[in-house]
A and B are shown apart, each in its own frame.
Chain A
Amino acid sequence: MSAGSNPLAILFFFVFIALTLAVTYWAARRTKTTEHFYAAGHGVTGFQNGLALAGDYMSAASFLGIAGLVALNGFDGLIYSTGWLVGWPIILFLIAEPLRNLGKYTFSDVVAYRLQQRPVRIAAVVGTMAVVLTYLIAQMVGAGTLIKLLFDLNYTLAVVIVGVVMMTYVLFGGMLATTWVQIIKACLLLGGAVVLAILVLAQFGFSPTALFAKAAELNGKQVLEPGTKVVTGAWDAVSLGLALMFGTAGLPHILMRFYTVPDAKQARISVVWATIWIGGFYLITFVLGFGAMVLVGMKSIVAAGGGGNMAAPLLANAVGGAAFFGFICAVAFATILAVVAGLTLSGAAALSHDIWVNVVKEGHASEHEQLRVARVAAIILGICAIVLGIIFQGQNIAYMVGLTFSIAASANFPALVLSIFWRRFTTWGAVTAIILGTVSTLVLLYCGPTIQVDILKNDLAEVSKQWWYFPLKNPCLITMTLSFLSGIVVSLLKPEPAAEAGFAEVERRAILGASAFIEPVAKPVPAE
C-alpha cells in the first residue's frame, strides 16, 4: 500500500510545498539581519511559538513511531508517550525563562555568559553538533524509508528532495520561515490526528475503553499490560526514562526557539502551550495505536514494512479512505521536513554564531558577514544531512533517537543547569561536563547491547563476559550523573573567581532580562 498511485496524496504534498515556499518567500523579504535569521526578530508570540515548539518536537518518530509501537506492542508504547512529554515541564521550570533572558541565539550564549568564551563555546558546539547530527541521521533515514513506503519514491531521491526543500526554507527564510513551517505542520499534524482519532472512536461509541477492550479481546489482555519488549529491565527503564525526560531540555533546536519570542513571560507561555499540544497529541496516539491494532490488524501492519511505521497511514485508509490516507501521508512528509529544517538551523547557528563569530572572530563580525557565514553553514549541514542519509540507508537506526536524547541529557542539560543556577561553576567545569557527557554516552553505547548485540550481531552471552561490556541499552543514567559530577568536581578543584563574581549578574539578568542592563528602569518594560 503506497500513495504513489494516489493522486490526492501527491496533490496534498504539492499544496504543502507550495504553501511553505510562499511563506519562505514572504519571510525571505524580512530576513535582513542575524536577529531575523536566528530569532525571527523576536516577534513570535507565545501562542505561536508554542505551536512551533510542538511542530519542532513532534517528529515522524513520535507520530508514526509511537502509533506503530502501540499497534504492535500495546501498553509499552506509553513509556515513550509519557517520557517524551515530561521533559516539557522541566524546560518550563528550569530553562525557558533564564535562557530567554540570558542568551541571544544559541544555548551556548547562556553557558558561556560569565565563563571564558572560547573553550566553553567550542565544547558547547561539540555537544550541539553531536545531537544535531545524530538526530539528522535518524530523521533523514526515516524520511527516505517512509517516503519510499508512502509515495513509492526512490530512497536516494527522497532524501535529496527532503534535503533541498529543507535547505530552501532555512537559507532564504531563516527562523521566520522555519517557525511558520513548524506552525503549519503542527496544525496539520494535530488536526489530522484528531480527525483520525474521532473516526476511530466513532466505531466504538466514542469510548476509548471500548476500543481497548476490543483490542484485548482480539489480541489477548497482555496488550493492556506492561510487556517485555520495550522495557527489558528496571535499570534500563529508568535510564531510558531519564534520557527522554532531560534530553528534551538539551535539544539545541528546541532551546533556540525561545529566542523567537519577545520576552521571558512569552517564553513561559509558549512552553505551556507546547506542553498542552504535545500531551494532547500523545494521548491521541494511544487511540491511534490501539485503533490500528484493531481496525488494521497486527499482521497487515507488519506486512506493510517499516517496522510498524505504516500503522497510522493504514489506519487512515481503513477509516477515511484513499483521500484521508493521502492527507496523512502528506502530513508525515511535512512532519519530517519541518523537523530537519529546525535541526539544520540550530546547527548552522552553532557553527556560525558560536564558532565563527565568537571563537574565530572573537565577537567582531559584521552583520553581513555573520549572515553569509550562517547561510554557508546551513548549506554545509544540508549537504551533510543528505550524504549521511544516503550512507546510513538500510541501517538499523532505531537506536539513533535514543542516542540523541541521551547525548542531549548528558552533555547539554547539565552544563546549562549548572551555569544558570550554580555560583561556583567554572569554565573547565563546563567543558568537562559537556565533553565527558558526549564521549561517555558514545563509548558506553558502543560497549552496550544496542551496538554489540543489535547492530554488530555479537552473541550476548559471549560479549557480556568482556571486561568492557556495559549492560544498559541506554547509558543516560550513568552518563548524566557523570556529567553533573565531573562538572561539579572540576569546578570545586580549580575555582574561577571571575566566573563566581559574574554570577550576581547572571542571577539578575536571568530574572530581569537584557533591558535591565541597558538603562535603569522605573517600571517593568518588556525585555528587548
Chain B
Amino acid sequence: MTTTDPIHAIAAKRWKVALTLSALMLVIYLGFILLVAFGRALLSILLSQGLSLGILLGALTIVSSWILSLIYVAWANRRYDDAVAQAIAGSTAPLGRKS
C-alpha cells in the first residue's frame, strides 16, 4: 500500500477528526470533574433562584456531547462518505481480495 493510496489519506483524515473530537470531549468532561473537585466555591454560585453554576455546567456537559456527536455525523455524512465513495469509484486497481 503506497502513501498515495486514497484510502490511506481518508483513514488519516478520519483519525484526525476522531481524535480532535475525542480530545474535546475529554477536556470538557475532565474540566467539569476538576471543577467539581477544586472549584467548589465557583460551582456553588447561584445564577438564579435554584440554579447553581454547577447544575448548569453539568447539563451543558450532556448537551455538549450531543453537539460533538452531531458535528461528527455532519462531517461523516457530508465529507467522509463522499470521499469514500469517490475513492472506490476512482480506484482503477482491484480493491484487494480476502480469501
Contacts and interface: CB of A to CB of B under 8 A. Distances in A.
Instruction: With a 10 A CB-CB cut-off, give which of B33, B68, B81 has the most chain A CB atoms.
Output: B33
Nearest to B11: A507
Contacts of B10: 511
B66 A512 contact: no
Interface stretch (A6-14, A141-149, A179-187, A213-221): A213-221
A517 B40 contact: no
B1 A504 contact: yes
A416 B14 CA distance: 17
B33 A508 contact: no
Given A75-B54, A212-B55, A523-B88, A265 B81 contact: yes
A86 interface: yes
Given A238-B33, A241-B30, A272-B70, A226 B96 contact: no
Interface in B46-80: 46, 48-52, 54-55, 58-59, 61-63, 65-66, 68-70, 72-73, 76
A520 B33 contact: no
Contacts of A81: 58, 62
* Prevailing SS type, chain A contact patch: helix
A86 B50 contact: no
Given A86-B25, A517-B96, A523-B89, A224 B36 contact: no
B95 A85 contact: no
B84 A511 contact: yes
Contacts of A225: 40, 43-44, 52, 54
Contacts of A209: 48-51
A54 interface: no
Contacts of A272: 69-70, 73
A81 B63 CA distance: 12
Given A209-B48, A268-B76, A512-B95, A86 B65 contact: yes
Contact of A89 (B14, B50, B68): B68
A264 to B, nearest CB: 9
Contact of B11 (A90, A510, A517): A510
Nearest to B49: A213
Nearest to A217: B50
B11 A276 contact: no
A360 B55 CA distance: 53
Contacts of A89: 21-22, 25, 65, 68-69, 72
Interface residues of B, number: 57
Contacts of B72: 89, 92-93
A522 to B, nearest CB: 7
Interface stretch (A229-237, A313-321, A393-401): A229-237
Contacts of B66: 275-276, 279
A85 B30 contact: no
Contacts of B84: 511-512, 524
Contacts of A516: 88, 95-96
Contact of A511 (B7, B34, B97): B7
A75 B55 contact: yes
Contacts of A459: none
Nearest to A524: B85
A56 B38 CA distance: 34
Interface string A66-91: 00000000010011011101101110
Contact of A75 (B8, B52, B85): B52
A518 B95 CA distance: 9
A92 B14 CA distance: 12
Contact of B7 (A269, A286, A512): A512
Nearest to B60: A82
Contacts of B69: 88-89, 92, 271-272, 275
Interface string B79-99: 001001100110000111110
A445 to B, nearest CB: 20
Contacts of B43: 75, 225-226
Interface in A95-129: none
B11 to A, nearest CB: 5
B96 A216 contact: no
Nearest to B82: A524
Interface in A231-265: 231, 233-234, 237-238, 240-241, 245, 265
A484 interface: no
A241 to B, nearest CB: 4
A82 B29 contact: yes
Contacts of B21: 89, 93
A208 B50 CA distance: 8
Contacts of A241: 29-30, 33
Contacts of A523: 85, 88-89
Nearest to B88: A524
Nearest to A520: B94
Interface of A: 75, 78-79, 81-83, 85-86, 88-90, 92-94, 208-216, 221, 224-226, 231, 233-234, 237-238, 240-241, 245, 265, 268-269, 271-272, 275-276, 279, 282-283, 286, 421, 504-505, 507-512, 516-524
Given A93-B17, A521-B95, 13 more contacts: A81-B62, A86-B25, A88-B65, A90-B22, A93-B22, A212-B50, A231-B36, A237-B33, A286-B58, A511-B14, A512-B95, A516-B88, A518-B98
7 contacts: A86-B65, A92-B72, A234-B37, A245-B26, A275-B69, A522-B89, A524-B84
Q: Which 9 pairs of residues, A with B, have the shortest CB-CB distance? A: A213-B50, A212-B50, A517-B98, A504-B1, A78-B58, A234-B37, A225-B44, A224-B52, A209-B50
